[in-house]
A = this chain, B = another copy of it.
Amino acid sequence: MLRGIHPLLGPELLHALRTMGHGDEIVIADANFPASTLGCPVVRADGVLAEPLLEAILTHFPLDTFAPASAFRMAMVDTPDVVPPVCVSFQKIITRLAGDFPVEPLERFAFYERSRKAAYVVATGELQLYANVILKKGVVRKEELAQFG
């Protein structure tokens, strides 16, 4: 446990987030996501829910302002036009903590393909369906770290 760092972020996840750079992507995955077979490094967060984890990550992690989109969710398989409640919540958290970034839907298998190239997948214990979101890291500017002298 450390002061000033969100307590939901354990040592592996902190390490992972700290190695990521501009344009790298991380997947917050629900409990049914095939996290281990996509070939990308996995950080386990069993027992942690997706929404508080998204809040914890965005406390320290900026989204990318260079790319056309920096947040992605999985579209529902049979009703792609319906936004599931957890994704509505994801959008609210992102807007509140990161700014005006729309969460773009991706068809299920396109979401898997994008995840293969991610820097990390965080496997949460979230039981809500479709609680998967990809975040693209932005630049941390010198001014944002001014508090550290």
Which residues from B are CB-within-8-Å of A102? none
Say yes or no: is A60 at the interface (Cβ < 8 Å to chain B): yes
Query: Chain copies in the assembly?
Result: 10
Are B17 and A15 in touch, CB under 8 angstroms? no
Shortest distance from the beta carbon of A148 to any chain B beta carbon, whole Å = 5
Are B59 and A3 in touch, CB under 8 angstroms? yes
Which residues of chain A from 56 to 98 have a CB within 8 Å of any chain B CB? 56, 59-62, 66, 77
Question: How far does the alpha carbon of A140 sit from the alpha carbon of B7 in the complex, in Å?
Answer: 10
Of the residues B1, B33, B127, contact of A7 by C-beta under 8 Å: B127
Least CB separation from A48: chain B residue: B47
**Number of A residues, CB within 8 Å of B:** 62
Shortest distance from the beta carbon of A83 to any chain B beta carbon, whole Å = 19
Least CB separation from A140: chain B residue: B1
Shortest distance from the beta carbon of A90 to any chain B beta carbon, whole Å = 17
Say yes or no: is A104 at the interface (Cβ < 8 Å to chain B): no
Say yes or no: is A139 at the interface (Cβ < 8 Å to chain B): yes
Say yes or no: is A110 at the interface (Cβ < 8 Å to chain B): no
Which residues from B are CB-within-8-Å of A53? 47
Shortest distance from the beta carbon of A22 to any chain B beta carbon, whole Å = 5
